[in-house]
Structure 1
Amino acid sequence: MTLIDHPAGRDAALYPVFEDLKMGRYRRVKELLAETGHNWQLRTFRSQVIALYAAHTRAIDYWHQEEPTNPDALMMWARVLTQRMFHLQRPANNPAVINAANHARRACRAAIQACQQCPVAWVCLLALAQFDSDPRYKQDAAEHWAPSQTVDALPQGPWPLFWAVRQRDPENREAYQRMLQFFYACGGGAHAFAQWTAMRAGECSILHMPPLYAYAEDYRRRRNSHQTSDFRYWNDHRVRHYVEQARDSWFTYLDADTRSSPALSIDLNLLAYALTVTGVEGAGPVFEAIGPYVTAMPWQSIAPRSNWAEDFHQARAYALDQQPASR
């Protein structure tokens, strides 16, 4: 099986967009976002993937200049400016970085004004919060260092922005990823947030996945500093508990159409990886749902090896071989 390693995954409608972007054109972006409408999960996913490519072109700049009041143009402008922040190779307290972040935040606010119900610009504000993650400057951005306003002892963070996303799209998967990234940047709080999320997740909820992301990032950092091994880390009973919970309380409930959603590719790949490295049963159906659409997270980013594709194929073959024979 030939693997397809592309952020768009199985979303065939996205691929022609990238050809337009290479030539500095935005027409197909505009058409695709209009077709996506108020499907917030798909809109969040597509706008994020488009921004990964558009940030290296001028296509969205031209669209924003030519249609400065178009809600979709404003949303993508916010997306692109936010994405470009992650390309800056300078300290977060550098004046150029601060100015760029403020410019992106103004674009987000304009997008919010243009479409109040859309969660994407709020997600962008959450992403930008990690550039203000130094607790020495809490007083400069109250919305980034607010109390959680829950009964649980959760760390301060960009909770007003997070609640704004949840108000519009309660299970917006990227919003939870951005909160985790903020706490990673702060140096603590990611596990508390992820576990709090999973404890309140219902059946068939993707909110059972954040603990796996938190453990994956924790493992990556520990491995890079030679503080742990694969076996010792992934066989911890707490890790296995959350892997089993994600399998049984989220994946098991998904129907075939939901499993094929392009927005869930990374989640499925991470779940398959976690089931494999922990030795927990049930990876076979997850690999079947993934098909050939492998994602860099986790197969390349968590445990980077030159033969990551071979690792994927071996894990998949073993998982499918372990499945009970159909009668």
Structure 2
Amino acid sequence: MARGRRLMARDGVRPSYDPAGPDQALRAALQDLRTGRWMAMRALLADTTQWWRWTQRTQILAAAAAGTDVVRAWLAEEPGNVHAAVMHARVLVERALRARRERHRRTHELWIEAWDAAQSATATAPRDPVPWVCLLALAQLDPEQRWEEHRAAAPEPMLPPGPWGLLAEAGRRDPDNREAHHRMLQFLYVRGGSGRLAEAAGYAQWAAGQAPPGAAAHLLPLYVRVERYRRDSGHDAALDLHWVGDEAAREARRGLHSWFENTQRAERSLSDLNHLAHALWGSLQFSDASRVFEAIGPYFTPPPWMYRTPDRERAVEIFVQARDRCRAAADG
């Protein structure tokens, strides 16, 4: 009971994971979708005009819809609806990626089905970055780079071949598309079968170096650092050295100054906020981390906190302890 009271002490509620976060319109559409209806999703997407928000909302809706036939029913009812076609591609990509994680015997079949839908969506919605993000997401199903589009030459000699053409197509439609960069990282994590973190780190530094103020690409090095930490957990006796070194501290400060201080609250993804707060806390920059925790509010995301403990149920407690430590420092 005492621990529960501590968790609720300042914000009044225990932090929890909510994919919609503070996006109330998205939350309403998700609730409607979970009851088998698609009209709220249709209305929400029709009102979504910014590419960053469109990319984020379609990804979250697809994750919720992947285990249902809601989007298929919508497309059957309105076969000419462009948004329905893009969501159909989104859902099929999500299913293919899940099948790969679960080593399902239909993975290849689902992959080809998803690729066909995404490829069709590039023609149906030629100005939309999401169909290209879908194709980029599917690249991680080809770690051996057997498909030609997955082994294009990189724009920088020190970077490996990969699905650079797909990344460029997404970028032409939405420069610095957040999800596109993360899909590229996911490809590099598995390239060649097990991936090379040095290549992923090189890409993250390159993308951050190219990014304008306010772009989420400035946080990519923090994600690579978390991935390295995750892989080392259990056999690295000095795990905290991942965070307290000069390079880690510089990466966290760059995320704060180049991204956080140049964005509006609504533009910030919950995952990015949690990774930045985690990095600032881990590098002992408590007062700055407190500002980011305030922006997070009650919305917690399991990564990166869950990698700090073998018991994932304790991840929220790690989050609360870090938040309280940083608030105490900020309060003097």
Stretch moving more, 56-65 or 123-132 = 56-65
- Aligned position for 2:322: 315
CA contact (8 A) 1:217 1:302 kept: no
Q: Check conservation: 2:97, 2:138, Cα contact below 8 A.
A: no
Note if contact 2:214-2:258 (Cα within 8 Å) is conserved in structure 1.
yes
Letter of the structure 2 residue corresponding to residue 317 of structure 1: D
Which residue number corresponds to residue 247 of structure 1?
256
More moved, 302-311 vs 66-75: 302-311
Q: Paired residue for 1:185?
A: 190
CA deviation profile, 1:207-237 (whole Å, cap 9, x unmatched): 211111111111111115x135332222232
Deviates more, 1:20-29 or 1:105-114: 20-29
Q: Which has the higher contact order (CA 8 A, sep 6+)?
A: 1
Label 1:19 to 1:246 Cα distance change in 2 as closer, same or farther (>3 A).
Answer: closer
Question: For 1:229-248, what aligned pairs fall within 5 Å after superposition?
Answer: 229-248=238-257
Aligned residues of 1:26 and 1:63 also touching (Cα < 8 A):
yes
TM superposition shift of 1:18: 2.3
Shift of 1:91: 8.1
Task: Give me the whole-angstrom Cα distance separating, in 2, the residues matched to 1:197 and 1:172.
Answer: 11
In structure 2, the partner of 1:106 is: 116
Which residue of the partner structure matches residue 216 of structure 2?
206
Alpha-carbon displacement from aligned partner over 1:79-115 (angstroms, at most 9, x marks no partner): 00011112215787x8732221111011011211111
Question: What's the counterpart of residue 70 of structure 2?
Answer: 59
Aligned AA for 2:136? Answer: L
User: Counterpart of 1:156 in 2: which secondary structure?
Assistant: coil
State the distance in 1 between where 2:318 and 2:256 align: 21
3-state DSSP of counterpart to 1:269: helix
C-alpha distance in 1 between matches for 2:241 and 2:188: 24
CA contact under 8 A between 1:79 and 1:124: conserved in structure 2? yes
Distance in 1, matches of 2:48 and 2:309, equals 35
Asked if residue 170 in structure 1 is aligned to residue 175 in structure 2, the reply is yes
The one-letter code sitting in structure 2 at the alignment partner of 1:34 is A
User: What count of residue pairs does the alignment treat as equivalent?
Assistant: 313
* Counterpart residue type for residue 22 of structure 2: R
**Partner residue of 1:87 out of 98, 113, 128:** 98
Which residue of structure 2 aligns with residue 5 of structure 1?
17
* Deviations 1:249-275, CA, capped at 9 Å, x for gaps: 221233xxx1243x5211011100111
Contact 1:273 1:298 in 2 (8 A): yes
Q: Which residue of 1 aligns with 2:274?
A: 269
Q: Which amino acid aligns with 1:86?
A: L
2:316 maps to a residue whose letter is: A
Describe the SS at the equivalent of 1:230.
Answer: coil
Provide the secondary structure at the position in 1 that maps to 2:98: coil
CA distance in 1, matches of 2:169, 2:36: 33
- The answer on 1:15 being equivalent to 2:27 is yes
Q: CA deviation at 1:310?
A: 1.9
Q: Quick check: 316-325 or 263-272, which moved more?
A: 316-325
Alpha-carbon contact 1:154-1:192 (below 8 Å) kept: yes
Correspondent of 1:158 among 152, 158, 163: 163
- Which of 215, 234, 248 does residue 225 from structure 2 map onto? 215
Do the aligned residues in 1 keep the contact of 2:252 with 2:279 (CA within 8 Å)? yes
Check whether the contact 2:306–2:314 (CA below 8 A) recurs between aligned residues: no
Q: What is residue 297 of structure 2 aligned with on the other side?
A: 291
Percent of aligned pairs with the same residue? 38
The residue identity in structure 2 corresponding to 1:272 is A
Most deviating of 288-297 and 13-22? 13-22
Cα shift at 1:153: 1.5
* Cα distance change, pair 151–171 in 1 and its aligned pair in 2 (3 A): closer
What root-mean-square deviation, in Å, do the aligned CA atoms of Structure 1 and Structure 2 show?
A: 1.9
> What is the CA–CA distance in structure 2 between the aligned matches of 1:302 and 1:216, rounded to whole Å?
10
| Equivalent runs, 1:42-53 vs 2, <5 Å | 42-53=53-64
Secondary structure, counterpart of 2:269 in structure 1: helix
Match of 1:70 in 2: 81
Tell me if structure 2 keeps the 8 A contact 1:220–1:303: no
1:146 to 141, 152, 163: 152
User: Against the structure 1 CA distance between its residues 275 and 60, is the aligned structure 2 distance closer, same or farther, given a 3 Å change threshold?
Assistant: same
- SS of the residue corresponding to residue 60 of structure 2 reads helix
TM-score, normalization: structure 2?
Answer: 0.88
- Larger CA deviation: 178-187 vs 233-242: 233-242
Which letter maps to 2:76? Q
**Distance change >3 Å, CA 13–CA 192, structure 1 → 2:** same
